[in-house]
Amino acid sequence: MAKDIIRMETDYDPTSSLMMTMMMGVMMVAVSQIIITSSTRTVVIQPTQFSGKTYNNTDTAADDNARRFEESEKKLNDVIIYVSGHGQLFGDYHSQEFYVAAGGSLGLTRVDIATLYFRNASAGQNGTVSILGTEE
């Protein structure tokens, strides 16, 4: 089986390069720019730039009223919402009807967390909601 030899360089540190042999494999790289040169062509890849820090917060219901994590705008990407203890209902300020059971999770690609409200699915059964995402 033939092997392709790939040389990669980054614009972050022009003196560094990575020489690797690839056969039927997958490569993941976290750099700002990748230059791939093979015997037939050169390709420059500029991955999506990410910014923002990790957002991680947990809240346990104290009563059956609707609540939210943030009072002012907080835009998040790649959000994972995990429910523990007792099921919760999610929605907006006016209505919380989407049920997530205890031990269940909900994923959202992009959301302003200040617009998301949640409350106990059953009166008196206080659940805990944990949210993990990245800030814009």
What is the CB neighbour count within 10 angstroms for residue 94?
7
Angstrom distance (rounded) from CA 42 to CA 76: 36
Give the per-residue pLDDT at 95.
94
Domains along the chain with CATH numbers = 4-45 (no CATH), 54-135 (2.60.120.10)
pLDDT tens string, the chain, 136 residues long: the values are 555 555 554 444 544 444 444 444 444 444 555 666 677 777 666 555 556 789 999 999 999 999 998 999 999 999 999 999 999 999 999 999 999 999 999 999 899 999 999 999 999 999 999 999 998 8
DSSP codes, 6-47: EEEE-SS-TT-EEEEEESS-------S-EEEE-SS-EEEE-P
Is the pTM higher than 0.85? no
